[in-house]
Structures are given as structure tokens and as C-alpha cells.
Chains A and B, each alone.
Chain A
Amino acid sequence: DQQVKQNSPSLSVQEGRISILNCDYTNSMFDYFLWYKKYPAEGPTFLISISSIKDKNEDGRFTVFLNKSAKHLSLHIVPSQPGDSAVYFCAASINTGTASKLTFGTGTRLQVTL
């Protein structure tokens, strides 16, 4: 049962353009969402997160949008840079008051071309 889904396994974007990575979830109890970036041979690096009480969170070139009614979130990267080429994972958790486990999507490989 894949509760967090990233339906696009790969995405190619030209340098300077916007990259939009999408994520859908099925569990309405999820109330905290995160995006991680992963380079080969490295662990995932935390990028940005959003609580379910918000619909947008921005940090520099990265913006995450949350649509609770559609159970959908997206990560926008503007402008895209070659160094952004990596696998991006979305993850979700249920806030229980203590540290909660993360449920990850299957990842989207972003390639930013020159």
C-alpha cells in the first residue's frame, strides 16, 4: 500500500526554467510533509517542509505547495540549476507529539540540462 506516490519517475528541465515535482498521498492523517534531495552515494538531504495548516512554504529557490483537499503537494524550483540534478523524495508523517516515522514516495529523478 503506497501511501505516498510520486508518479513521475523522471523529469528533465532546462537550466533557468522552473522544475515542478509532484507528490500525492492517500492517508488523510498525514499532517507534515517534507522534500528531500538525494545525490548518488549520499544520504537524503532535507530541503523544505510544510505543515498541513499551511498551503505554501518558501525557502529561496524552493517553494512547496500543499493542496489538502486534493491530497497533493508539489515542489517548485526556480530557477533550476545543473546542481539541482538529483533524485527528489517527498515524505509525510503524522504528528503524534513525539518523533514520528516518515513515509516516503518512490522518488523523481530531476535532470537539469544546460
Chain B
Amino acid sequence: SAVISQKPSRDICQRGTSLTIQCQVDSQVTMMFWYRQQPGQSLTLIATANQGSEATYESGFVIDKFPISRPNLTFSTLTVSNMSPEDSSIYLCSVDLAKGEDTQYFGPGTRLTVL
């Protein structure tokens, strides 16, 4: 597996502001993913971040709202822009270790509350 850390672990933000979440992995990985888990809901993929190229967003998620950076093979950031209370969720990054199967390993998550 991999050791994955996220910063911050939680935050309380005001409506209209932006928050950048960092994800750090202890080994080089090609594919990183960002998920959202809204209260009482399942995990939903926001986007796939591949180093050296633009992130690929899932239906319902757009780059202006969730810009993603992937500057190297061990790090990625997700920004939640112009936040509203509906953005209150747990945001999780995950990695695929590319061992020939689709197992992803998750970070601890960032719990975001928007007031």
C-alpha cells in the first residue's frame, strides 16, 4: 500500500471563500484521484489527476469550481472555490499503485464545513 496524508484534516470556512486541500504520497504514483463524500452519502469521484496533464473531471464537476494541480508524482492539490454550504463534505484523495489491478488507497480525508 502507500502512506497518504492530507492537509488540512478539517476546516470551517465562510461562504464565498476558497480552500486548497493538499495530498501527499510517500511514493511516486501516476494516477491520483479526488473524491467527495457528502453527509450520509457514498463516495463520488470528482476528478482524476494525472501528472503532466490536465485533470479529467466527472460529470457534474467543473474545473472552475474544483481546480486541481498535480505538479509531481507525489503531490496534488484540490481547491474548492467560491464555497457554499452545499460544499460541506469530506474530501478524499486516493492513489492507484499501478500493480495491474484497480485497487485505490485513500488518504484520511479533509472534513470541510461551510457556514
Contact = CB atoms under 8 A, between A and B. Distances in A.
Interface of A: 32, 34, 36, 41-46, 49, 51, 89, 91, 93, 95, 98-107
Given A41-B111, A100-B102, A46 B41 contact: no
B98 interface: yes
Contacts of B4: 43
Give the one of A44, A89, A93 with max B CB within 10 A.
A44
Nearest to B109: A43
Contact of B42 (A51, A93, A100, A105): A105
A99 B96 contact: yes
Contact of B107 (A41, A43, A46, A101): A43
Interface of B: 1, 4, 30-31, 33, 41-45, 48, 58, 92, 94, 96, 98, 101-109, 111
A42 B108 contact: yes
Contact of B43 (A42, A89, A95): A89
9 contacts: A34-B103, A42-B109, A46-B1, A46-B103, A49-B101, A89-B42, A99-B48, A101-B33, A104-B42
A7 to B, nearest CB: 13
A62 to B, nearest CB: 14
